[in-house]
Amino acid sequence: MLTDLMKRELLAEIDRTETRQAACIEALQIVQRHLGWISNETLREIADFLNMTPDELEGVATFYNHIHRKPVGRHVILVCDSVVCWIEGVEEILEHIRATLHIEPGETTSDGLFTLLPVQCLGACDNAPALMIDEELFTNLTPARFDEIVAAYRDGKS
């Protein structure tokens, strides 16, 4: 359900754009910020709000990387798998995540806390490997540092 708050935010975005549809990428991001992901029902509601058909909005939603059309955990771990991080050993980090969180890229931990997703170069190549958790960037990763970061999130850092 789109709340009044979300609708206000959507309207503010619509105000700035030429057509209602032009606000759709921002709209998906706004709603996702509130709900974590875009369910089928949510997508329909947003489409209605923007005078789009769900078919039209889905075409856009499935084009971009950061629109989650499946549920995600409380925190989304975005591990950069691009070239510099690869050179600097991101595969080792990913192996470590598999071993400790027991999830593959695209999966969510059984406690619903973390979803692991690969991401394109985060522009932190001078401090590779890098990852983001939600909106925060972490660099110079090692397995030990990863454990610390994850522990902090487990302890309730949001």
For other proteins, the binding residues (CB under 8 A) are: 16-19, 21-26, 28-29, 40, 53-56, 58-60, 62-67, 78, 81-84, 86-88, 119-128, 132, 135-137
Q: Which is nearer to other proteins, 2 or 25 (CB)?
A: 25
Give backbone dihedrals phi and psi of 140, rounded to 5 degrees, phi first.
50, 50
φ, ψ of residue 38 to 5 degrees: the values are -110, 105
Which H or E run includes 103?
Answer: none
Which residues touch 142 (CB under 8 Å, ≥6 apart)? 93
| Least CB distance to other proteins at residue 101 (A) | 21
Residue 103 and residue 101: Cα distance in Å, rounded? Answer: 6
Q: Which is nearer to other proteins, 95 or 147 (CB)?
A: 95
Which residue number, 103 or 137, has a Cβ lying nearer to other proteins? 137
Residue written as token pair 């909106």:
135
Q: Least distance in Å: CB of 111 to other proteins?
A: 25
Query: Shortest Cβ distance from residue 63 to other proteins (Å)?
Result: 4
Q: If DSSP codes are grouped into helix, strand and coil, which group holds residue 118?
A: strand
- At 104 the three-state DSSP class reads coil
Provide, rounded to whole angstroms, the least separation between the CB of residue 153 and other proteins: 16
Rank residues 40 and 110 by Cβ distance to other proteins and give the closer one.
Answer: 40
d(CA 154, CA 157): 7
At closest approach, how far in Å is the CB of 119 from other proteins?
7
Contact status, residue 67 vs residue 38, Cβ threshold 8 Å: yes
Residue closer to other proteins (CB basis): 110 or 124: 124
